[in-house]
Chains A and B, each alone.
Chain A
Amino acid sequence: MAKKPLLEFTDRGIYCAQGKFYIDPWKPVDDAVITHAHADHAYWGHRHYLAHYLSREVLLYRLGEINLQTVEYGETVLKNGVSISLYPAGHVIGSAQIRVEYKGEVWVVSGDYKVENDGISTPFEPVKCHHFISECTFGMPVYQWKPQVQTFNEINSWWRNNIDNGLATVIVGYSLGKAQRILQNLDLFNGKVYTHGVIENTNEALRRNGVILNPTERITQESLKEEVRKGIIIAPPSSVGTPWMRKFQPYSFGYCSGWMAIRGAKRRRAADRGFVLSDHADWDGLISAIDATGCECVYLTHGYTATFSRYLNEIGFNAREVHTLYGGEEEDPSNLPEGKASSTGDPEKKVLPLGEDLGGVS
């Protein structure tokens, strides 16, 4: 009789029968281990949550009162003889790969990850395992990131230029991850950083969690347009084209996303500037990360799974596609521009304040 695998892919999420827990389940379960706080990984409605301690305040802010246990990276939790430990995924602050071990068999669930050190999330750490469950949002060879310092040089000089030309500067990125990464890499000699309420809420949650972020000022009814114009505004994708954004006119608006690597995708966004900046691994990053695990088998959960698995098999890996709901609508670049698409179901809407972007990917 074939041995039952330690982790299985079910219609609720990734399941460990031996340990009786799920990883990033999308339907309500008793026991959930969460890789990170993005909406397509951390759903509402589970009875118990386990996550990294730096995800705590954001999870509480996004999901309301939940029964949450947090751990440090490297710390081990036992569930029915199965040991669970978290390792940095480098995706956003508090994001983790989940290592699951039972009787010497090791599985790792990557959640979402990037290999470049962004200077704010704990850097990605490869974990040896037999089975690796990986994302591949940007699993096409056309996606190759430049070092982030180059992109931030572009962003900072664009900002300076806008100030010289009397334009307000609006930079768009997801509220958890991208927004803080931008914030920490802006040249504050240029001016002050203003934030959209949704982003400031996330910043405050992170600060409550002890994360030290550069100073920001929430935009309110009282904010003076002339002052804001001299600074930079960090806004979520859902604010693009809204009256909220239009009141800063004239402005130049930049969009930060991995999808910006493709000219057509950039033109579709109709952003003034598209900056290639992603919290996911690029093509080479994915391959090197998978290689570093030394795994026997890699399972691809979301992204260009068909193409990427075919290629991995050709170069000697044992790769297969699995069906999950990660990436949600946002796995498709087509659904990014408005940032309004919510695949995350009703439970989310009950908890989140109006206008929250449910954003995870990019």
Chain B
Amino acid sequence: MKAFAQLFLSLDETNKTNEKVKVLKDYFNTVPDTDKMHMLALFSGRRPKRQINSTLVRNWAIEASHIPAWLFEESYHVVGDLAETMALLMPQSNASSSKTLTEWIAEINALNDKTEEQKKEWLMESWAMLDSQERFVFNKLLTGSFRVGVSQNLVIKALADISGLEPAVLTHRVMGSWLPETYQFSQLMEEQDAAANISRPYPFFLAYPIQETSEKQKTPAEVGIALGDAADWQAEWKWDGIRAQMIKRGAEIFIWSRGEDLATEKFPELHPFLNALPDGTVIDGEILSFQNGLPMPFNVLQTRIGRKNLSKKILEESPVAVIAYDCLEYKDEDIRYKSQAERREILEQLQAETAYPEIFRISALISFETWEQLGSIREQSRAMIAEGIMLKRKSATYQVGRKRGDWWKWKIDPLSVDAVMIYAQKGHGRRADLYTDYTFAVWDGDKLVPFAKAYSGLTDAEINKVDYFIKRNTIEKFGPVRTVKPELVFEIGFEGINKSTRHKSGIALRFPRILRWRHDKPKEEADTLESLKALLGE
């Protein structure tokens, strides 16, 4: 654990990528192989199962800190991180544990069949055994929010440097479901991949935005200059659903979402077509809800994903289908090296053979001759229930991660509305103790009705100014939320708008974010609920 705690500390002590990679390499070179795999699991979002619920951990931490519960809560809002709050509040300790990360995780996992009393005893003893920095990472292990400020790419780079293997190969090998208890470091490092698991997905290829910021719109002519001959590109609609990779191997099927969650059971409608695919097939596409052959807005799908159990009603109300747009494996062969055009041909052939064309759909190619023409087709995106257009170079291979060059997303301009900030809440992580999470309202007669929350879009300097305003213009405090004097006006951008029965305003926005601070607008000139509802387009 010492080494792992030190790893955290050292990563925090530098902002430079090269140094972070060096720190990671030093860690890999000093700890036992089992620790390496546990670290890799944690840094790629595979945290151990939570064995003590966080309310209990919190309560016992309050007990160990000898402070009232309300003061613990206030401290949490200042720190913005539960594990860190607990570590800071406990009495200082000079103890230190020589147990390895692997041993600690094994102990945590062994709590599974223990009574609450036994768990508490174990936890109190463990805290007493650790110094502050060790407590912090230990609390992270327990409470499970393992954001480390180091991308998986950096960890992969460190491993690649050590092993001489290609980063893309390693990225692939750490995809999917594996357990640090059984996946061996030596397997990960093998020259030839022998440990391949039939469920393992490929790393997703992600498109780069053509418009880097919403302020600067690119004209078709500019797109043309950047991308060259229109004939080298294929265009499709950019669908607004769940990106997924669907696997049929060894008579089994697997559906992976982009967050590397195994979601096979969430989409039973897709099972028949997947089972009917030839063995050794992997398809990349978008899962969407459909009604009468037309895609439905994302929020329909969203309510469905949120449910634990898929009731009959839900399956009837928001049945899903796939819009497939790529094929990564065919006849047991990894075909990512083939060109976009070749893979497309294979995909079309697979789709033509399916007995479920309503479920296994294909993303239609948009035919266009010039960029200007495509630019005007893009204007119809909203009517197509699409977010814009995807551009893929016909000669492109299927690459790993977000790469510039061959896949581009050309999104439509967001919808926007001017709104007044009325509530604020402190953020987390690097925004701890700063008011960064805002609720916005529009006018309904002479009342301000909240309709959206947004967290992003302002620069650090603007956040500081808004924070300063909030701290001096608070009307009321409700726990962590402050009611703020309605005064500041912001332009809020969003991708879509839908009716909602769950919100007071009667509407729900998709991806609301702050486009800019309207210093020039008094609050009276903010938009109205009526004008927002007009965007519902009914």
Contacts and interface: CB of A to CB of B under 8 A. Distances in A.
Interface in B428-475: 428-434, 460-461, 463-464, 467-468, 471
A267 B432 CA distance: 10
Nearest to B73: A307
B433 A264 contact: yes
Nearest to A262: B79
A332 interface: yes
Interface in A246-290: 261-268, 270-273
Interface stretch (A66-74, A88-96, A125-133, A139-147): A139-147
B524 interface: no
B339 interface: no
Contacts of B84: 262-263
Contacts of B281: none
A334 interface: yes
A338 B461 contact: yes
B117 interface: no
Nearest to A254: B13
Contacts of B89: 141-142
A101 B79 CA distance: 40
B97 interface: no
B88 interface: yes
Contact of B14 (A142, A272, A329): A272
Contact of A266 (B12, B16, B67, B431): B12
Nearest to B8: A263
Interface string A127-171: 000000000000011101000000000000000000000000000
Interface string B89-114: 10010000000000000000000000
Given A270-B15, A329-B468, A334 B74 contact: no
B458 to A, nearest CB: 12
A337 B465 CA distance: 13
A207 B16 CA distance: 39
Contact of A332 (B70, B75, B467): B467
A268 B468 contact: no
A314 interface: yes
A334 B432 contact: no
Contacts of A264: 79-81, 428-433
B424 to A, nearest CB: 12
Contact of A265 (B14, B65, B75, B433): B433
A262 B468 contact: no
Nearest to B68: A314
Interface residues of A, number: 29
Contacts of A333: 433-434
Contacts of A332: 467-468, 471
A144 B132 CA distance: 12
A256 B417 CA distance: 42
A307 B68 CA distance: 12
Contact of A311 (B71, B88, B468, B471): B71
B209 interface: no
Contacts of B289: none
A268 B430 contact: yes
A335 interface: yes
A144 B75 CA distance: 13
Nearest to B75: A142
Given A264-B430, A267-B429, A307-B74, A334 B67 contact: no
B7 interface: no
Nearest to B477: A306
Contact of A268 (B13, B68, B431): B431
A362 to B, nearest CB: 14
A334 B434 contact: yes
A267 B81 contact: no
B397 interface: no
A66 to B, nearest CB: 29
Contacts of A263: 12, 79, 81, 84, 432
B78 interface: yes
Contacts of B13: 272-273
Contacts of A334: 433-434, 463-464, 467-468
Interface in A304-319: 304, 307, 310-311, 314
B67 A141 contact: yes
A335 B468 contact: yes
A210 to B, nearest CB: 39
Nearest to B14: A272
B250 interface: no
A225 B14 CA distance: 23
A271 to B, nearest CB: 8
A314 B89 CA distance: 18
Interface in B239-293: none
Nearest to A331: B471
B85 interface: yes
Given A261-B88, A262-B433, A334-B434, A140 B15 contact: no
A311 B70 CA distance: 10
A118 B498 CA distance: 61
Contacts of B431: 264, 268
A256 to B, nearest CB: 14
A272 B70 CA distance: 34
Given A141-B67, A142-B88, A273-B13, A262 B432 contact: yes
Given A141-B89, A262-B84, A264-B80, A307 B12 contact: no
Contacts of A265: 430, 432-433
Interface in A323-345: 329, 332-335, 337-338, 341
B20 to A, nearest CB: 12
Nearest to B80: A264
A265 B460 CA distance: 12
B149 interface: yes
A268 B88 CA distance: 19
A341 B464 CA distance: 10
Interface in B1-47: 12-16
Contact of A141 (B14, B75, B432, B434): B75
A218 B16 CA distance: 29
28 contacts: A140-B78, A141-B65, A141-B71, A141-B88, A142-B78, A142-B88, A144-B92, A262-B84, A262-B88, A264-B80, A264-B429, A265-B432, A267-B149, A267-B429, A268-B431, A268-B434, A270-B15, A272-B15, A272-B16, A307-B74, A311-B68, A314-B68, A332-B467, A333-B433, A334-B464, A334-B468, A335-B467, A337-B460
Interface of B: 12-16, 65, 67-68, 70-71, 74-75, 78-81, 84-85, 88-89, 92, 149, 428-434, 460-461, 463-464, 467-468, 471
Q: Which 4 A-B pairs have the closest CB atoms?
A: A264-B432, A267-B430, A142-B88, A334-B467
